[in-house]
Amino acid sequence: MSHWIDNQKNLMLFSGRAHPELGEAVARELGVALTPTTARDFANGEIFVRFEESVRGSDAFVLQSYPQPLNKAIMEQLIMIDALKRGSAKRITAVLPFYPYARQDKKHRGREPISARLIADLMKTAGADRLVSVDLHTDQIQGFFDGPVDHMHAMPLLTDYVRKNYGTDNIVIVSPDAGRVKTAEKWSNILDGAPLAFVHKTRDIDVANKVTSNRVIGDVEGRTCILIDDMIDTGGTIAGAVDVLRKAGAADVIIATTHGVFSDPARERLNSCGAREVITTDTLPQNTEGWDNLTVLPIAPLVAKTIHEIFENGSVTTLFE
């Protein structure tokens, strides 16, 4: 890909410390070097960042992933953006493959925050001109940021893998709840019109991460179920859904998700829930150690192509057509 970049125009890529492997992989795909950066924590936890090269007039892309401790990673990216703004970067694009606080995108009840909007405001205030993210929890988050938002989709990556490894003859696309049915329909369209099913579930709004899976709507008997979600955190919903599908006579269950958050006890749950394979991407740092069934697909090519299109003022939409 190195022939892409016209160095006269000055694309500069910066990576936070949360997921350095992803930063390096994106840089390799683009054929540029990550800009050398000094980043350190003071004794009281404050973060210091300084870039070792001039950023004046550059088209700057600041990549940060959000594993735990995510609040520290957010602050680091904001500080990097501020340093670029004060260093006279021409345009600053914040690249957040996994958008933090995306689940808090509306008020469920009174006196609650809309934290996903707050993140967008913070990025804007720090000096970001545009945002890039992959598979936002809900599309409306694009409207929270006052500027261009490039919303990338990992679906082609995941569907290609499923097609290669499981074919499309005997599969059924399963949404873990009614809210993801629209996404399941898109999967179905790509995978030769595979049939759909969804798991009807109830959630206790007073208890975080607590979900009860009830029953399957749709025919899954004797079929390979592709169970999809945009993110898996503790794995409770998904493990419950696998159990319900197994009881409904599913021959096999394959889990596919873009963002493998995998907070404890997700690994134990997903290892022992009866799913044949868990497929995710590395928008968050992943480690297959201790997993029996985890497959990690690289997101760097998609992120690099997006950065390239933005830099060349091309069309990001064409990446999905």
- Is 19 known to sit in a ligand binding site? no
**46 marked ligand binding residue:** yes
Residue 306 marked as a ligand binder: no
Matching residue, tokens 């933090």: 100
Cis peptide before 301 (omega within 30 of 0): no
CA atoms within 13 A on the CB side of 226: 31
Under 8 Å between Cβ of 283 and 298: no
Q: Which two tokens stand for residue 171?
A: 């599969």
**How many residues are listed for the chain in this entry?**
321
Would residue 201 show up in a list of annotated catalytic residues for this protein?
A: yes
Q: Do the annotations mark residue 104 as ligand-binding?
A: yes
Q: Determine if residue 234 is labeled as part of a ligand binding site.
A: yes
Ligand-binding annotation for 103, yes or no, is yes
- Confirm whether residue 16 is marked as ligand binding: no
CB-based contacts of 20, cutoff 8 Å, min separation 6: none
57 assigned binding-site residue: no
Q: Residue 20, preceding bond cis, omega within 30 degrees?
A: no
Q: Which residues, in sequence order, are CB contacts of 49 under 8 Å at separation 6+? A: 37, 38, 39, 76, 79, 80, 83
Q: Is 308 annotated as a binding residue?
A: no
- Decide: 135 and 102 in contact? Cβ < 8 Å: no
Contacts of 239 (CB under 8 A, 6+ apart): 269, 270, 273
Q: What are phi and psi of 217, to 5 degrees?
A: -105, 115
Q: Of 9, 72, 106, 201, which residue is the catalytic one?
A: 201
Q: Is 240 annotated as a binding residue?
A: no
Cα–Cα separations (whole angstroms), residue 91 to 11, 74, 269, 317: 10, 20, 44, 20
Q: Distance (Å, rounded) from C-alpha 252 to C-alpha 232?
A: 19
Q: Report the C-alpha gap between 308 and 321 in whole angstroms.
A: 17
What does DSSP say about strands 37-41 and 47-51: parallel, antiparallel, or unpaired? Answer: antiparallel
Q: Is 45 annotated as a binding residue?
A: yes
Is 235 known as a binding-site position?
A: yes
Positions annotated as catalytic residues are 201
Bind-site residues for D-ribose 5-phosphate: 203, 229, 233-237
Bind-site residues: 44-46, 103-104, 137, 177, 203, 229, 233-237
Bind-site residues for Mg(2+): 137, 177
